[in-house]
Amino acid sequence: MISVNEAKNLILDLCNSDRIQTLPLIQTCGSVLAESVLATIDTPPFHQSAMDGYAFVFELWDGVSPLMVIGEIQAGQISNKILKANEALRIFTGAAMPTGADTVVMQEKVMIQGSHILIQSPGLIKGNNVRLQGSQTMKGEIALNKGQLLTPAGISYLAGIGIRDVKVFKPTVSILVTGKELSTVSEVLESGKIFESNAIGLTAALQLLGINPETVEVVDDVEEELVQSIKSNLNVDLLILTGGVSVGDYDLVPKSLANCGVNKIFHTVKQKPGKPFYFGTYQQTLIFALPGNPAAVMTCFYEYIAPAISRFTKKEYFKSLLLPLSTDFVKKSGLTYFLKGKTSNHEVTILNQQESYLLNSFAIADCLIELEEDKEFVNQGENVRVLMII
Amino acid sequence: MISVNEAKNLILDLCNSDRIQTLPLIQTCGSVLAESVLATIDTPPFHQSAMDGYAFVFELWDGVSPLMVIGEIQAGQISNKILKANEALRIFTGAAMPTGADTVVMQEKVMIQGSHILIQSPGLIKGNNVRLQGSQTMKGEIALNKGQLLTPAGISYLAGIGIRDVKVFKPTVSILVTGKELSTVSEVLESGKIFESNAIGLTAALQLLGINPETVEVVDDVEEELVQSIKSNLNVDLLILTGGVSVGDYDLVPKSLANCGVNKIFHTVKQKPGKPFYFGTYQQTLIFALPGNPAAVMTCFYEYIAPAISRFTKKEYFKSLLLPLSTDFVKKSGLTYFLKGKTSNHEVTILNQQESYLLNSFAIADCLIELEEDKEFVNQGENVRVLMII
């Protein structure tokens, strides 16, 4: 049995290589770019009018004569007309400039005289109201750098320069939930069974971190089935199992993992809840086998899995801080306690119903309070480490 | 033309009614419960062993005799055996207690003598190591209160008590993107066209707030098509349009909205970018018609749409703070400027390339800087309002 800090360090030591996925742009908001993105086209892709107005060739205009309007270009259209001296084309915002034209006068700055316009814009100079081709980004230029967090504006920007897929720092994750007593929520509950809740809880937790699990399976506690499911899910970066990890006759997970060639790093941690927590590796895959009690599952998620994922995605998720405890608390020495808490007025209160099979306190908690392994008594007002959760 | 603050107030005044959706549990993490959830079953649904060990009837044991092990109950199973004096059943964590049995002795606290066990647990009392039926939640009890933020643990908790769908505070949203010049990103770019990027940018932005748009359509700038699309999307809580909202000959959105019976609240705001921003209502639907330039779209999303959604979801999204500006800045009086900025070392810097057709600065910005309407000059070191964005 190792300490919480040893367990955390052993896990994080194995989270230093990059885990990169190429994903459709729409799935990457909130992720960090794993390679610089090069522009594949000039943007704008052509000289573009920035206004509703009239396009003309500045140097072919004598500065006083009315211009004859010889046609119109809407956004999305192109015109093959070549403008001659004292000619103009009606043009709209976003439309491609006609060949040779370099200047747009706003529609508000002209007087219309039949088929002609008279420009009334004393300050107008060559190039006004035109967005030059490539003025945002040139083909081949770096559009966004590796390491950039992708925001909605970043997604929109990349879509605008024709990018469809990007490489981001993001591990793949699968979930295997074990237990003969589990009923999925769509069924009627049979005697002796309970509704399965770890799969949905872990899926929701992963989605909070921007990760959709590759597979979520409820596996029967039968060794052959377990081995089969583990084997077919060892291709992900993180494999999370719940249940069957204790030392009971039907706790088949550690044995099944060994049968699959998984290298055990540790099994059992000096903590409450979640003492039977198992961690191992198989090539690049990290295997987190958690005890099946839902509060232990959630605690291990926040304390071990989220920090591991954070290393891979290069993002911060849950803030840790020190807060004074609102009451005295007595605990057993030799185990780190993770308690469901609620913060208010710059202190933190331990919620009732901390047993690992109960989730009602966890459901209203806004933090996990860590009470250190060697402590037997924590005084009211003493600072404790608090992990703020969502 | 109204001021930014007038526009914000007019919108928020219309965001006071509740918008509630009933959604599958897995889609509600991060949402706020719109009604209290009642437990539909006792949880645990039966008296349950908390340990791997042996179940027996405490008062039928004489305290010294070995107990005969007359069978086994795995998790998920039930046993019909009735335990008599000095009898026990092998039992595993999570398994249903046999009828009448009230106590479990841990397997570590017995000595096995053939078909009997000798209990070596001096402190053992009646009820030990048993989780009583309903000890977490009783059928009919309030499991979670209206107003509770649903966390992964909350989702897991509700799944565990058999809940499949919950009512949450969340508006429905649809997106209509207009513009003849728009090519969707899966196509090759034709002359005169640009890649459409507002639909994906707004979709990503809404997903950040936990909302998947009901429909996302790219609509041609033809009045009949526009009217048709608007009509078939007036059943949502928020309808967002982009493009066609200016005063050009082909800016058909305000006219089409009027044709659909939309009540204009305002059109044009004293701001840069996004001056032609239109806002209206149709029964319970709020209509945000944004200018088509991508930077204007994103700015209006953060400044107007996100605060409106925040009212409906009862959640905070983007933090506003005051920070000193890193350089002097000259602006036009009469317009509020929203500038793409980057914070560092407790000050904020205005990024280059602020034009509304450019997104490269927005893609790396971590905030929007608001410079007030009546200002003409902002001094280095002067505090400005900064909206932190993701």
Provide the ipTM.
0.94
pLDDT score at B268? 97
Q: How far is B300 from chain A (nearest CA, A)?
A: 12
Q: How far is A169 from chain B (nearest CA, A)?
A: 17
Query: Is A155 in Cβ contact with B30 (below 8 Å)?
Result: no
Residues of A in contact with B48 (CB under 8 A): 357
Amino acid identity of residue B341, one-letter, is G
Closest partner CB to A157 (pick from B161, B182, B360): B360
For residue range B126-161, what is the model confidence (pLDDT) as tens digits?
A: 999 999 999 999 999 999 999 999 999 999 999 999
Closest partner CB to A204 (pick from B29, B193, B201): B29
* pTM across the whole model: 0.94
Residues of A in contact with B163 (CB under 8 A): 185
Q: Is the pLDDT of residue B232 over 90?
A: yes
Q: Is the pLDDT of residue B182 over 90?
A: no
Q: Is the pLDDT of residue B120 over 70?
A: yes
How confident is the model over A286-304, as a mean pLDDT? 97
Query: Is B360 in Cβ contact with A390 (below 8 Å)?
Result: no
Closest partner CB to B155 (pick from A45, A50, A204): A204
Query: Is B156 in Cβ contact with A93 (below 8 Å)?
Result: no
Mutate to test the interface with B, among A69, A156, A193 (most CBs of B within 10 A): A156
pLDDT level of residue B363 (50, 70, 90 thresholds): very high
For residue range B246-276, what is the model confidence (pLDDT) as tens digits?
A: 877 778 999 999 999 999 999 999 999 999 9
Query: Is A45 in Cβ contact with B194 (below 8 Å)?
Result: yes
For residue range B312-351, what is the model confidence (pLDDT) as tens digits?
A: 999 999 999 999 999 999 999 999 999 999 999 899 999 9
Residues of A in contact with B250 (CB under 8 A): 74-75, 92
Give the count of Cβ contacts less than 8 A between chain A and B: 278
Query: Is B157 in Cβ contact with A92 (below 8 Å)?
Result: no
How confident is the model over A333-356, as a mean pLDDT? 94
CA–CA distance, A127 with A125 (Å, rounded to integer): 6
Closest partner CB to B359 (pick from A157, A195, A248): A157
Q: What chain B residue is nearest to A148 in terms of C-alpha separation?
A: B364
Q: Which of A343, A321, A340, A311 is nearest to A209 (CA)?
A: A311
pLDDT level of residue B187 (50, 70, 90 thresholds): low
Mutate to test the interface with B, among A42, A93, A203, A351 (most CBs of B within 10 A): A93
Q: Is the pLDDT of residue B196 over 70?
A: yes
Closest partner CB to A52 (pick from B131, B248, B390): B248
Query: Is B364 in Cβ contact with A194 (below 8 Å)?
Result: no
Closest partner CB to A390 (pick from B30, B248, B357): B30
Query: Is A194 in Cβ contact with B156 (below 8 Å)?
Result: no
How confident is the model over A354-382, as a mean pLDDT? 95
Closest partner CB to A46 (pick from B95, B157, B192): B192
pLDDT score at A185? 60
Query: Is A193 in Cβ contact with B148 (below 8 Å)?
Result: no
Query: Is B29 in Cβ contact with A207 (below 8 Å)?
Result: yes
Higher pLDDT, residue B91 or B181 = B91
Share of chain A above pLDDT 90, in %: 89
How confident is the model over A257-268, as a mean pLDDT? 97
Q: How far is B149 from chain A (nearest CA, A)?
A: 8
pLDDT level of residue B385 (50, 70, 90 thresholds): very high
Closest partner CB to A75 (pick from B180, B201, B301): B180
Query: Is A250 in Cβ contact with B96 (below 8 Å)?
Result: no
Query: Is B390 in Cβ contact with A360 (below 8 Å)?
Result: no
Q: How far is A354 from chain B (nearest CA, A)?
A: 11
Query: Is A248 in Cβ contact with B95 (below 8 Å)?
Result: no
Query: Is B157 in Cβ contact with A363 (below 8 Å)?
Result: yes
Q: How far is A105 from chain B (nearest CA, A)?
A: 14
Q: What chain A residue is nearest to B388 in terms of C-alpha separation?
A: A151
For residue range A201-254, what is the model confidence (pLDDT) as tens digits?
A: 999 999 999 999 999 999 988 899 999 999 999 999 999 999 999 877 778 999
pLDDT score at B303? 98
Mutate to test the interface with B, among A36, A149, A151, A272 (most CBs of B within 10 A): A151
Of chain B, the end-to-end C-alpha distance in Å amounts to 30
pLDDT score at B103? 97
Give the 3-state secondary structure of chain A: CECHHHHHHHHHCCCCCCCEEEEEHHHCCCCEECCCEECCCCECCCCEECCCEEEECHHHCCCCCCEEEEEEECCCCCCCCCCCCCEEEEECCCCECCCCCCEEEEHHHEEEECCEEEECCCCCCCCCCEECCCCCECCCCEEECCCCECCHHHHHHHHHCCCCEEEEECCCEEEEEECCCEECCCCCCCCCCEECCHHHHHHHHHHHCCCCCCCEEEECCCHHHHHHHHHCCCCCCEEEEECCCCCCCCCCHHHHHHHCCCEEEEECECEECCCCCEEEEECCEEEEEECCCHHHHHHHHHHHHHHHHHHHHCCCCCCEEEEEECCCEECCCCCEEEEEEEEECCEEEECCCCCCCCCHHHHHCCEEEEECCCCCEECCCCEEEEEECC
Query: Is A74 in Cβ contact with B180 (below 8 Å)?
Result: yes
Residues of A in contact with B156 (CB under 8 A): 197-198, 200-202, 204, 294, 297-298, 359, 362-363
pLDDT score at B185? 61
Residues of B in contact with A76 (CB under 8 A): 179-182, 192-193
Could you tell me the domains of chain B? 4-19+171-313 (3.40.980.10), 20-42+140-169 (3.90.105.10), 48-131 (2.170.190.11), 320-388 (2.40.340.10)
For residue range B292-317, what is the model confidence (pLDDT) as tens digits?
A: 999 999 999 999 999 999 999 999 99
For residue range A29-73, what is the model confidence (pLDDT) as tens digits?
A: 999 999 999 999 999 999 999 999 999 999 999 999 999 999 999
State the alpha helices, DSSP H only, in chain B: 4-13, 152-160, 198-208, 223-231, 253-259, 294-300, 306-313, 360-364
Closest partner CB to A151 (pick from B92, B149, B390): B390
